[in-house]
Amino acid sequence: MDKEINIGCLDEDLTQKIVDKIHTDNNYFLVIEDGLRKNTLIFFSPSTHDGYENQWDIVPGVTLLVPFFKSGDKRVEYMGEGHSLIWPAYHLDKLSTVKYKGHKLNVPYDYKGWLKHYFGDDWGEENLDWHWSQANNLCQWKGGDKFEK
């Protein structure tokens, strides 16, 4: 079970300036990538600073998720090793805001549609065993607008 807060990021918003700002504001972060800009993860919390041997052993406070980049009428969240989560672009092109722990955050305007697309019709039911690998929109991204379930 994940214990961190995940924050998604649109590709066009994750600029080097933003990454540099995160680094300036928080010394405890790590950029992990496999050679493709599209699957950069940024973990940051004091526990990520020293002594990890495997990136998945890190217990971050916050994870800045891989960027959601546009490919035609889709937004692709590249998870690595060929795994992608595919969203209709309209789910992320129009955003609304919520307040969480004193912070104003952007969320999909049609958040119920987003949740249903990701988790399925039973998105409102608690499932502590759920993992992103069970997502309804998990595909193999073949590049461009080519996807395979």
Model pLDDT for residues 21-71, shown as the tens digit of each residue: 877 776 666 666 655 555 556 666 655 555 555 555 555 566 777 778 888
Can you give the residue range of the structural domain that contains 62? 5-148
Q: Tell me the residue type at 58.
A: I
Residue 141 · residue 72 · CB < 8 Å: no
| pLDDT digit string, tens, across residues 58-108 | 555 667 777 788 888 888 887 777 788 888 999 888 899 989 888 888 889
Overall pTM > 0.85: no
- Rounded CA-CA distance 121/112 in Å is 10
91's CB contacts (< 8 A; 6+ apart) are 75, 108, 110, 113, 114, 117
Our count of domains for the chain comes to 1
